[in-house]
Amino acid sequence: MTQQVLSGNHAQSEAVRLARVQVISAYPITPQTSIVEGIADFVAQGRLDAQFVKVESEHSALQVCVSAAALGARTYTATSSQGLLLMHELLHWASGMRAPIVMGVVNRAVAPPWNAGADHTDTVAQRDTGWIQLYAETNQEVLDLVLEAYRLSEDPAVRLPTMVTEDAFYLSHTVEPVDVPTVEEVDAFLPPRVGHAILVPERASRLGSFTGPEDYVRFRQDEALAMDRVRPTFASIESDFARRFGRGPGGAVEAYRLDDATSVLVTLGTATTTARSIVDELRREGRPVGLLKIRLLRPFPDHEVREALSEVDRVGVLDRSWTFGMAGAVATEVRAALYPATHHPPVTSFVAGVGGRDITPALVHRMFDRLDRKITPDPIWMDLEPAEVKVDG
């Protein structure tokens, strides 16, 4: 284990090298590019023995991974925003073919208008494609989650693809000290992939095919049951990771100062770091506030959310994405998770940090103030709260 100063993007590249990925395919998009540049360099330097297929679109990038994974290779791709949206059709193919692809996604705003800032709309819009989704808060988490993602995706109980996401620029282009394990340490944690035996040369076999409703529903249910096995499998992989590397387990959710908390904010990604500092500040003032960070958004950790939040009085959910017609996407899921609990606290939906707006300590402070002052069913666009409009105007 050595400590290196890495951007989130180079943490992805390092993890790909350490995982001995065999086939990589990607198409460039800001701010993902330095991930694949880093990988291209590893391959060029002979530090990673892999086929890097440079393609003419993200759609083809994911198709290369799907087909390579079908034959048994360990595969990786990375994208962002529009690229992920273009992949949408192939996202279903990947999960439907039970291809254990790992994809780095740099969360970036969706056009129009063009905007390269941090925003979770790209991945949040892909929640229902059968992919596991893990959200990183730090560059260390990026590296660790990519390694864990291969174990998880390739586990025979799961066999589903995983996205490991990182916020544009806040992680992708910001450097932090990262503990980087050796290849040998990772080899012991992550053995070579064992391919399935459907697509085999010289065997009359077909992967994909077509079916009537009788068999089709069985394939879909198999996939759903595999998704149900993600949480226990992830927990045991994280325990093994913690034992070997001394970090974690980070969990599907991470509770922070929830003991006797009455108001709790739920976050994803880098906003968590800011929110944690505000929780500390408010706690020093004697206010019983807490934080729940969601790392695993798909499958949604509803049991963990219920266990963490069903005793508190008020919950706020910070969505760094926009959805139409109802509250924020994560807020909606938190509400749904809490509904079966005996006591379900009101959940306020905060939309903030959209299109790369900074989620400042002051903004998080105002969310807690707002949470304690008034309960509202409608989403609150914190970026455009009157106080801030006055400052800007």
Partner 1 sequence: MAKLTIPAQEWVRSGHSACPGCAPALAVRLLLKGLGPRTLVSMPACCWTVIATPYPTTALGVAMLDNPIESTGASISGLRAAADALGLTDVNVVGIAGDGGTADIGLQAMSGMLERRTDAIYVMYDNEAYMNTGIQRSGATPWHAWTTTTPVGPAARGKAEPKKEIMPIVLAHHPVYAATVNPSFPEDFLAKVEKARDLHGPRFFHALTACPPGWKYDSAETIEIGSLATETGLFPLYEVVDERLRITRRYSRLKPVREYLDRQGRFRHLTEEEIDRVQATVTANWEDLLRREAAPPAPVATVALPRPTIAPPA
Contacts with partner 1 by CB under 8 A lie at 22-23, 25, 43, 45-51, 53-57, 59-61, 63-73, 75, 89-90, 93, 195, 199-212, 215
Beta carbon of residue 56, minimum distance to partner 1 (angstroms, whole number): 4
Q: Which is nearer to partner 1, 197 or 391 (CB)?
A: 197
Beta carbon of residue 196, minimum distance to partner 1 (angstroms, whole number): 12
Enumerate long-range contacts of 240-247, CB under 8 Å, 24 or more apart.
240/151, 240/189, 241/144, 241/147, 241/148, 241/189, 244/185, 244/188, 244/189, 245/1, 245/144, 245/179, 245/181, 245/185, 245/189, 247/140, 247/144, 247/179
Beta carbon of residue 11, minimum distance to partner 1 (angstroms, whole number): 21
Q: Which is nearer to partner 1, 16 or 268 (CB)?
A: 16
Return d(Cα 90, Cα 46) in angstroms, integer.
30
Beta carbon of residue 212, minimum distance to partner 1 (angstroms, whole number): 7
Q: Which is nearer to partner 1, 72 or 356 (CB)?
A: 72
Of 213, 192, 196, which is closest to residue 205 (Cα–Cα)? 196
Return d(Cα 50, Cα 44) in angstroms, integer.
10
Beta carbon of residue 229, minimum distance to partner 1 (angstroms, whole number): 23
Residue with tokens 């990988």, as numbered in its chain:
39
Q: Which is nearer to partner 1, 1 or 197 (CB)?
A: 197
Residue 237: phi and psi, rounded to 5, are: -65, -40
Beta carbon of residue 73, minimum distance to partner 1 (angstroms, whole number): 4
Cβ atoms of 123 and 130 closer than 8 Å: no
State whether residue 203 is helix, strand or coil.
coil
Q: Which is nearer to partner 1, 194 or 391 (CB)?
A: 194
Beta carbon of residue 44, minimum distance to partner 1 (angstroms, whole number): 9
Return d(Cα 61, Cα 27) in angstroms, integer.
6
Q: Which is nearer to partner 1, 130 or 328 (CB)?
A: 130
Question: Can you spell out the DSSP letters for 312-360?
Answer: -SEEEEEESS--SSSS-HHHHHHHHHHTTSSS---EEEEE-SGGG----
Return d(Cα 276, Cα 271) in angstroms, integer.
9
Q: Which is nearer to partner 1, 72 or 355 (CB)?
A: 72
